[in-house]
Amino acid sequence: MADDYKNHHYVPQWYQKKFMLPGEHELFYLDMKPGSFIDSRGITHAKKSVWRQGSKKCFVEEDLYTAKIRGIENRDIEKYFFGAIDRKGRPATEYFESFSYPFRKYWGTSLQDILLYMSAQKLRTPKGIEWLSNQIRANNRENILRVMVSLSQLHCAIWMECVWLIADASKSKTKFIISDHPVAVYNRECGSRSQWCRNYNDPDIRFHGTHTIFPLSIDKILILTNLSWVRNPYQSAIKLRPNPNYFRGAIFKFTDVQIMRNLDEQEVREINFIIKSQSLRYIAAAKEEWLYPNKYISKSNWNTFGNGYLLMPDPRSIHCGGEIMWGNTDGTSGAMDEYGRLPYDPDYSKETKSHSENHSLQWFQGEFAKLVGPYRRGRSFQGMRIDSEKDDEEFHNYHLSLQRKKYKERHKK
């Protein structure tokens, strides 16, 4: 019993199994920093870098979350804290993996549970723990673990206000891989060698242009994009979005979740390249060849994946505005804008009042229509029905005319 909860999976076994092929019980596990050894003759050899093994031996570290209190080892964080998060995170992940319209019951609890699971998952990996250690400038493991538990909901409000897209790789021969840092981020202005990605860092999720990516299974992936970026991808991708405060309330609109985005093989490889680039040391896949997306993708193309819009939801389903008002049974009422600001905030609904995002969104809708054509690349649930698969001719031509107008205005300057 003394060794119970001693081996800590920073990527849960149930999650790993979602990336195995049917009937299989192992993954190909790649160590990208295998090191070397010297044999009895004094000759140096590289250690083996790829193994095929089960989930019990992948993404695990002994006593990663064990705290010592007066010399006594305490494993309550693994047993109770992460144990509870994982138990709720599994059905929540499965809920969004199979998400469709009209959405099924348990949507409220599933949203809360997947947000907490993802937020804690981003902190609980070796990379996340080292990042947190650098942020709080602490080397004491007990202090780091205590802060990690207290900040487990750190990312939830920002992610709740993102545009959610669930993309599908079922039509691609290549499937999603899994890494030792499963909640990855991508910002096209922050390449893997940039200052934002050094020393255990990721680009800030509050930057306009930062996408958060979380593979839900071997065939599905959740992509979260800041609303300010979808409305205006022409601004700096590394400036903070409106109301970047982590610790506050937020509102989520389920009918804005985009689905039915089918990825081709090159797109899946580009996403796998991002996942691999943002990992610390280990990745795993159902097939060994999937471990090497770099055979097909170059780091020099980092900012041009998908013509710069690989992870972007379809902006034609996005609208400006978004203020929500409500009344309570006790006669009180409240309101919040789309960026989580309350009415007393001097910037409340600033973008709506100034129309600052309306024009850029229309330009982008035109650019996107020209880039991908009339067929939607992601569909949400508007007006009590799911968006049409294809724009009608009038709607499509309208957006193309906006793009032509913008092109002319640029060339006049």
Q: What is the pLDDT of residues 122-143, one digit of tens each?
A: 999 999 999 999 999 988 888 9
pLDDT at 412: 55
| Short-list 176, 187, 306, CA closest to 239 | 187
Q: Which of 169-178, 246-255, 283-292, 394-403 has the lowest mean pLDDT?
A: 394-403
What are the sequence ranges of the domains in the chain?
7-34+48-313, 317-412
* Other residues' Cβ atoms within 10 Å of the Cβ of residue 264: 12
Entry pTM: 0.93
Q: What tokens does 193 get?
A: 């060698």
Over residues 84-94, mean pLDDT: 96
What pLDDT sits at residue 3?
Answer: 53
- Read off the pLDDT band of 2 (50, 70, 90): very low
Out of 78-87, 135-144, 401-410, least confident range: 401-410
Q: Which of 49-53, 134-138, 221-225, 390-394 shows the lowest per-residue confidence on average (mean pLDDT)? A: 390-394
State the chain's mean pLDDT as an integer.
Answer: 91
**Is the CB of residue 26 less than 8 Å from the CB of residue 278?**
no
Strand ranges, E, within 91-187? 163-168, 178-179, 184-187
Q: What is the mean pLDDT of residues 26-48?
A: 87
Please say if the pLDDT value at position 49 is more than 50: yes
Is the pLDDT at 30 greater than 90, yes or no? yes
pLDDT at 407: 53
Which pLDDT does position 53 carry in this prediction?
Answer: 96
pLDDT tens track for 205-239: 999 999 999 999 999 999 999 999 999 999 999 99
287-295 long-range contacts (CB < 8 A, ≥24 apart) are 287/21, 287/28, 287/175, 288/28, 288/50, 290/28, 290/174, 290/175, 290/177, 291/28, 291/30, 291/50, 291/177, 293/174, 293/177, 293/269
pLDDT at 91 over 60: yes
pLDDT computed for residue 401 by the predictor = 75
Q: One-letter amino acid identity for 108? A: G
Between 4 and 139, name the one with better pLDDT: 139
Of 6 and 380, more confident: 380
pLDDT band at 406 (very low <50, low <70, confident <90, very high): low
Q: What percent of the chain is modeled with pLDDT above 70?
A: 93
User: Given this model, what pLDDT does residue 129 score?
Assistant: 96
What distance in Å separates the CA atoms of residue 55 and residue 29, rounded to the nearest whole number?
A: 10
The arithmetic mean of pLDDT across residues 62-82, rounded, is: 79
The CA-CA-CA angle for residues 219, 274, 253, to 5°, reads: 60
Give the pLDDT mean for 67-88. 81
- Give the mean pLDDT of 10-15: 97
pLDDT bracket for residue 69 (50, 70, 90): low
- Confidence band, pLDDT 50/70/90 cuts, at residue 45: confident
- Residue 410 in this model has a pLDDT that exceeds 60: no
**Interatomic CA distance for residues 306 and 298, integer angstroms:** 13
Torsion of CA 9, 14, 15, 17, to 10 degrees: 110
pLDDT, greater one: 356 or 214: 214
Structure tokens at 310: 């690989």
The total number of residues written for the chain in this structure: 413
Segment 260-313, tens digit of pLDDT? 999 999 999 999 999 999 999 999 999 999 999 999 999 899 999 999 999 999
Pick from 33-47, 61-75, 197-211, 233-247: least confident: 61-75
